[in-house]
Structure 1
Amino acid sequence: MSEGRLFEETAAFADGCGDRLRIVSNRSDSTAEALASQLSGLGLSVPPAHILMAGEFTLQHLARQGVRRLTLCAAPLLMARARALGLDPEARDPQAVLLCRDPAQTVDTLGPLLAPVARGVPLWVSNEDVSHPDHAGRPVAETGALLAALRAIRPGLAWHCLGKPHAAMLLHAMAEAGLEPAQSVFVGDNAATDGRAAEAAGMSFIHIQRRAGK
């Protein structure tokens, strides 16, 4: 799936996987509930419990760690999800800063995100992808592009991340499914993130490579 459209072979692949299918995505501008609804509208039935999204996953992790006050750079859907989890995403005295994909960010709004980090507040990043491919294979700016801008402002910046290429979401998905790495395979289109995440989780990896426009 790319830019809201399915590739022509997606439905057959999902049908072949059946209930074994889990979606592990670095997307940080949506939620499992929203993606499940979107997929349903496209003819695919994937329960929200079978979907992990990097932004939402990180919010849930922070909530479990006892974080309640947050500076959240994210799209409106993630802001609402943070509030539903009991977090204040616009706290004046944050315990953490979380950077997600947010097209509303500009050169004027990115700099102030570093103010609490300069005071020692930990920075979390939903994923480090600089871009993702659109339906024609062309790059679309991602959260990692925003991170690159912050690093340009403050060289030596440190952060935490649970998104791919880190293994956290893959390990969580397998645990929820009651499977071991040897019983699982990860399919993805980015060897630098998907492939490395699979390797870190001890899984086999199938790399999907598309020609532009295919």
Structure 2
Amino acid sequence: MFRDRRAVVLDLEGVLYAGTEVLPGAKDFLCALNERGIPHRFITNISRLTGADVRAHMAILGIDPGPGKVVGALDWAGEFLKRRYGAGRVLVLGVETLQAAIRSAGFEVVPPWAEARADIVLVGLDEGLTHFSLSAAARAVARGAHFVALNPDVRAPREGGSFELGGGAVVLAVQAAAGKAPVVIGKPGPFLFEQAMAELGVKPAEAVMVGDNLRTDVAGARAAGMASVWINRWGALPGDPEVKPDLEVRRVDEVLPHLPGGRG
């Protein structure tokens, strides 16, 4: 099915691992990609880890990512803001790592109590979120500040099929209170897909995206012109009539027969 595809783009959580649980087929899949010489990138909406942090987490889990680099929303947030807005003062709802990334990109990060100075409100996963900071972000957006979401994910997969709230839940709160929808850095927006394909040196028609989220991974890939695979781990999740993957499987290694060098 994907024998003519030159590269693979992979989601991480829910595809290779969930929290500290390595998912079935993950190690075999990456090993096969490396053995077949299929270039790949990991693309993630994770709000609190840099690409280096993600690779370190994979190493702890015993997952060898090989030469695949991580294209993450957190790492690319500053570049996204620079390209879109140039400069400005940013109110960040997010972990200190995200705030540091925005400062490194040349932006001034303003605290919630200085909401009136914010030109941009960037919302990620804020583990220290308070009613005051959430209200300040919503007021700034309602006043006219640009509203940017790191990602729209309301859930983050965890061990045993469980989950925890994702940054998208915070985004929805700000959106509801401010009455304004955000621009999205991560999936399903095109930005991270474009960065991954640029690093791989391929066109959309030459790449396939593998992910577990129909609304972000599959819909985003299709909008970017890429083929898509949906990992439906439990085999019981309902499909979406508006989002159709090219292939649906239970575990990631079931994709291998459909890639270059596969049999079957």
> What is the TM-score when the length of structure 2 is the normalising length?
0.72
Mapped partners of 2:101, 2:22: distance in 1:
25
3-state SS of 1:22 partner: strand
Query: Which residue in the other structure is 1:21 paired with?
Result: 40
Give the AA of the match of 1:44: I
3-state SS of 1:109 partner: helix
3-state SS of 1:89 partner: strand
Give the AA of the match of 2:20: G
Deviates more, 1:191-200 or 1:109-118: 109-118
Mapped partners of 1:122, 1:17: distance in 2:
40
Give the AA of the match of 2:22: L
Query: Which residue in the other structure is 2:57 paired with?
Result: 38
Query: Which residue in the other structure is 2:181 paired with?
Result: 158
Contact 1:14–1:21 under 8 Å retained in 2: no
Is residue 82 from structure 1 mapped to residue 102 from structure 2 by the alignment?
yes
Contact 1:98–1:124 under 8 Å retained in 2: yes
| Closer/same/farther in 2, CA of residues 67 and 179 from structure 1, 3 Å limit | same
Query: Which residue in the other structure is 1:66 paired with?
Result: 86
Contact 1:99–1:124 under 8 Å retained in 2: yes
Q: CA deviation at 1:141?
A: 0.9
Give the AA of the match of 2:222: E
Q: CA deviation at 1:86?
A: 2.9
3-state SS of 1:86 partner: coil
Contact 2:208–2:226 under 8 Å retained in 1: yes
Q: CA deviation at 1:172?
A: 1.6
How many percent identity over aligned positions? 29
Query: Which residue in the other structure is 2:260 paired with?
Result: none
Is residue 181 from structure 1 mapped to residue 204 from structure 2 by the alignment?
yes
Mapped partners of 1:182, 1:198: distance in 2:
11
Q: CA deviation at 1:138?
A: 2.2
Mapped partners of 1:210, 1:77: distance in 2:
31
Q: CA deviation at 1:31?
A: 0.9
Contact 2:77–2:185 under 8 Å retained in 1: yes
Query: Which residue in the other structure is 2:147 paired with?
Result: 123
| Closer/same/farther in 2, CA of residues 94 and 150 from structure 1, 3 Å limit | closer
Mapped partners of 2:177, 2:138: distance in 1:
9
Structure whose CA Rg is larger: 2
> What is the TM-score when the length of structure 1 is the normalising length?
0.87
Q: CA deviation at 1:148?
A: 1.8
Q: CA deviation at 1:45?
A: 4.1
Give the AA of the match of 1:54: A
| Closer/same/farther in 2, CA of residues 48 and 77 from structure 1, 3 Å limit | farther
Contact 1:189–1:207 under 8 Å retained in 2: yes
Q: CA deviation at 1:78?
A: 1.5
3-state SS of 2:20 partner: coil
Give the AA of the match of 1:161: V
Structure 1 gap ranges (5+): none
Equivalent of 1:190 in 213, 226, 237: 213
Higher relative contact order (CA 8 A, sep 6+): 2
3-state SS of 1:27 partner: coil
More strand by share: 2
| Closer/same/farther in 2, CA of residues 48 and 130 from structure 1, 3 Å limit | farther
Query: Which residue in the other structure is 1:140 paired with?
Result: 164
Contact 1:70–1:97 under 8 Å retained in 2: yes
